[in-house]
Chain A
Amino acid sequence: MSKVRGILKQIGSFLSRLRFERQLVRRIQRRTVTQEHLTDADSLVFSQTVQESIESRKPFISIVPLNTVPDDVLQRLERAISRTLDIETEITPPLDLAFAFDSSRNQYNSTVILTRLLEILPDGAFKILGVTNVDLFIPILTFVFGEAQLNGAAAVVSMYRMENELYGLPRDERNLQDRLTKELFHELGHTFGLLHCDDYDCVMHASTYAEEIDLKSDSFCASCYEWVSSILADK
């Protein structure tokens, strides 16, 4: 028993060291920690890893929960991004959306949110994605699922209008997450400069109502994917 416990402890400390290492690398990448902050021991233990990561300082995508968004939702988004685009993500502390609230419409102005997101773009992040469950709008339209800066860094997406309950249907968490993932990729695609795609299966196909999101897949078609990966290759 004690032997098993000893092995588990070893594994545990190995994992925590690994986690610490990764965190450190990220903090260095984002320049929240510089090499000078490291203790001698730290630098001895991790110097090699740290050195490598500083040299390669991979850009990442910052994910910002706006108001409150469940952790599991955010983590599933992270996994989807890493699976599809092989990009690192980083979840920041939540941002309060009071500044974007329009009391006359009782909705949140997504364009205003985009502007704020750009201001808080972390060092080393090349995209910043706001995720929320409040009702978003742009001035001329009744609502939007999300908005992105075409060829820019910021995008925002909301699951508010994606919830089946809003349309008198029973809540469907799985479906909601799928819709959110698709629209997140869609808006992310816009930040890469992609326009709407005629391919009905492509995530860049425009969807103007919730059920329409279900009709498309959560992946880019070959040509849209090629476009995104050619941009990522330059990073």
Chain B
Amino acid sequence: MNKKDIGILIVDDEPSVRNSLSKWFEEDGYRVGSANDAADAQRKLQEGRWDIVFLDIKLPGMDGVELQKRIKEIDPHIITIMITAYASVDTAVRSLKEGAFDYVTKPIDPDYLTHLVNNAVRQQQLTIENIQLREQITKLHKFDEIICESSQMEKVLELAKMVAPTDTTVMIRGESGVGKELVARLIHANSKRRYFPFVPVNCGGMAESLLESEFFGHEKGAFTGAEYQRKGKLEMADGGTLFLDEVGNVSMKTQMDLLRTLETKQFTRLGGNKVINVDFRVVCATNKNLEFAIEEGTFREDFYYRLNVFTIFIPPLRERPADIPPLAEHFVQKYAISMNKNITGISDEAMEMLKRHHWPGNVRELANAIERAVVIEPGPLLRKEDLPIQIVQKSESPQLESLEAVEKAHIQYILEKTDRNISQAARTLKIDRVTLYSKIKKYGLK
């Protein structure tokens, strides 16, 4: 890294400290800026990128410790170094607990200062590398959670590996819990963007305004409560992969904004007018019937075509029972290790039960069931009795002979498939909502 690419911001109300430190670092070749109070500092932090911030503990208005906390909120990777007088060393030590890199006592020994900044720069580069490394580790970890023996999953992985090195937009479809994000990470890990971030956004279960700010970020004061500038996920994904999970839940307006960004590779933060250029690959996932949503008018057709370039469908777990034993064994091992329990495997009876279960929640449900079982089983084998009760009931997979039982099971299935969206479930079942409600009540399908 070139020194002129490293920005050092000096925040101190004393002009002599600002000037002398600025000059010292300028002569060293760094890009230097200064601010005389917290407000000025926050403005500077929003206007440009700073890697290292020197902060006087005592500032007029907001004190340095508080400001350092805010800086960490804006960007946790900024390195903060507190400047203190002898009298305020205690405060400085406290700021270390809040995440400050170090503190210096005025006046500073020049050699110490030089080393401190060198270390800070090294630390910063390490942080960047660490993030990439950590991500790689999770990727590897996720990698081996894609455990499969079924030909269906082999096919999925083959497709993922094939499309990964291209920059094509990928849509991953399948019920919730089948492992769509794992496949998305696999694609990212095998793409040329792997050294840049993989940024997942869960589009489900977030208010529209929040989701918008999640995507685009916002400038200070963009809306009530937006006290500081915030970087959005689009900006964070620059160079890497943006993973839009549950993309079917994005509102029509946000779909339009996203579509525009995908087409122009440009956007502005909420409440701002500075154009920000981004370059990322999009991988999205949905468990919804988007074609149906288009017909229904809740999903934009142009957005759909933009996303649906290359589709990978992950079949539900119940359709690939061959994957259940290796997955189950894998989870037993994983949870036994993390809970430090001596459980070596699964009894035949229990395995039979697992294989017969319908698994509406797919791999995620299987993982949860096994985690729970590992908690209660003393060892050495996981037994049928350890498995959550719902499984037992369902795996008995009983009297489906009666029409009522079939109806109940089918409504249950559609409800899960539509993410318990009553209107959609009613439409799929071709009954009205009132009827559906009464049936839900009748069968106790909460």
A residues lining the B interface (CB < 8 Å): 105, 111, 137-144, 150, 190, 195-196, 206, 208-209, 212
List of A residues within 8 angstroms of B110 by Cβ: 141-144, 208-209
Query: In the complex, A182 Cα to B23 Cα: how many Å?
Result: 20
Q: Mark B87-122, 1 if CB is under 8 A from A, else 0.
A: 000000000000000000011111101100000000
Q: Is the interface of A mostly helix, strand, loop or mixed?
A: loop
Asked if B16 and A139 sit within 8 Å, CB to CB, the answer is yes
Query: In the complex, A165 Cα to B53 Cα: how many Å?
Result: 37
**Which one of A138, A190, A196, A208 contacts B20 once the chains associate, using CB atoms below 8 Å?**
A138
Which 3 pairs show the lowest CB-CB distances between chains A and B? A208-B111, A139-B16, A138-B20
Which among A105, A141, A144, A150 has the greatest number of chain B C-beta atoms within 10 A?
Answer: A141
Does residue B326 face the partner (Cβ distance < 8 Å to A)?
no
Asked if A142 and B108 sit within 8 Å, CB to CB, the answer is yes
List of A residues within 8 angstroms of B27 by Cβ: 150, 190, 195-196, 206
Asked if B20 and A141 sit within 8 Å, CB to CB, the answer is yes
Q: Is the interface of B mostly helix, strand, loop or mixed?
A: helix
A9 shortest CB reach to chain B, Å: 54
List of B residues within 8 angstroms of A196 by Cβ: 27-29
Asked if A141 and B23 sit within 8 Å, CB to CB, the answer is no
Asked if B28 and A209 sit within 8 Å, CB to CB, the answer is no
Does residue B143 face the partner (Cβ distance < 8 Å to A)?
no
Does residue B26 face the partner (Cβ distance < 8 Å to A)?
yes
Asked if A208 and B108 sit within 8 Å, CB to CB, the answer is no
Does residue B17 face the partner (Cβ distance < 8 Å to A)?
yes
* Given A190-B27, A195-B29; A141-B109 close (CB under 8 Å): yes
Asked if B28 and A141 sit within 8 Å, CB to CB, the answer is no
Query: In the complex, A195 Cα to B26 Cα: how many Å?
Result: 8
Asked if B114 and A150 sit within 8 Å, CB to CB, the answer is no
Which among B14, B16, B20, B21 has the greatest number of chain A C-beta atoms within 10 A?
Answer: B20
Asked if A140 and B114 sit within 8 Å, CB to CB, the answer is no
List of A residues within 8 angstroms of B114 by Cβ: 206, 208
Asked if A139 and B28 sit within 8 Å, CB to CB, the answer is no
Query: In the complex, A190 Cα to B28 Cα: how many Å?
Result: 11
Asked if B24 and A140 sit within 8 Å, CB to CB, the answer is yes
* Given A150-B23, A208-B114; A137-B28 close (CB under 8 Å): no
Asked if A141 and B113 sit within 8 Å, CB to CB, the answer is yes
List of A residues within 8 angstroms of B107 by Cβ: 105, 137, 139-142
Query: In the complex, A203 Cα to B314 Cα: how many Å?
Result: 65
Query: In the complex, A209 Cα to B110 Cα: how many Å?
Result: 8
Query: In the complex, A195 Cα to B21 Cα: how many Å?
Result: 15
List of B residues within 8 angstroms of A206 by Cβ: 27-28, 114
List of B residues within 8 angstroms of A105 by Cβ: 107
Asked if B113 and A139 sit within 8 Å, CB to CB, the answer is no
> Which residues of chain B from 317 to 338 have a CB within 8 Å of any chain A CB?
none
For B28, give the chain A residue with the smallest CB separation. A196
A131 shortest CB reach to chain B, Å: 20
* Given A150-B23, A208-B114; A141-B108 close (CB under 8 Å): yes
Asked if A141 and B26 sit within 8 Å, CB to CB, the answer is no
Task: Beyond A144-B110, A209-B110, list 16 extra A-B contacts (CB 8 Å).
Answer: A139-B14, A139-B16, A140-B20, A140-B24, A140-B83, A140-B106, A141-B24, A141-B109, A142-B107, A142-B109, A143-B110, A150-B26, A150-B27, A195-B27, A195-B28, A208-B113
Query: In the complex, A121 Cα to B108 Cα: how many Å?
Result: 31
List of B residues within 8 angstroms of A141 by Cβ: 20, 24, 107-110, 113
List of A residues within 8 angstroms of B19 by Cβ: 111
List of B residues within 8 angstroms of A209 by Cβ: 110-111
List of A residues within 8 angstroms of B14 by Cβ: 139
List of A residues within 8 angstroms of B113 by Cβ: 141, 208
12 contacts between A and B (CB under 8 A): A111-B20, A138-B23, A138-B24, A139-B16, A140-B16, A140-B17, A140-B20, A140-B21, A140-B83, A140-B107, A208-B110, A209-B110
Query: In the complex, A195 Cα to B27 Cα: how many Å?
Result: 5
B17 shortest CB reach to chain A, Å: 5
Query: In the complex, A190 Cα to B27 Cα: how many Å?
Result: 8
Query: In the complex, A218 Cα to B27 Cα: how many Å?
Result: 18
List of B residues within 8 angstroms of A139 by Cβ: 14, 16-17, 20, 107
> Which residues of chain B from 23 to 41 have a CB within 8 Å of any chain A CB?
23-24, 26-29
Query: In the complex, A138 Cα to B18 Cα: how many Å?
Result: 11
Which among B27, B28, B106 has the greatest number of chain A C-beta atoms within 10 A?
Answer: B27
Query: In the complex, A206 Cα to B26 Cα: how many Å?
Result: 12
Query: In the complex, A139 Cα to B17 Cα: how many Å?
Result: 6
List of B residues within 8 angstroms of A150 by Cβ: 23, 26-27
A136 shortest CB reach to chain B, Å: 11
Query: In the complex, A150 Cα to B22 Cα: how many Å?
Result: 12
Query: In the complex, A143 Cα to B14 Cα: how many Å?
Result: 18
Q: Mark B228-262, 1 if CB is under 8 A from A, else 0.
A: 00000000000000000000000000000000000
A183 shortest CB reach to chain B, Å: 13
B134 shortest CB reach to chain A, Å: 31
Query: In the complex, A154 Cα to B83 Cα: how many Å?
Result: 29
For A111, give the chain B residue with the smallest CB separation. B20
Query: In the complex, A111 Cα to B14 Cα: how many Å?
Result: 15
For A161, give the chain B residue with the smallest CB separation. B110
Query: In the complex, A139 Cα to B114 Cα: how many Å?
Result: 16
Query: In the complex, A219 Cα to B232 Cα: how many Å?
Result: 50
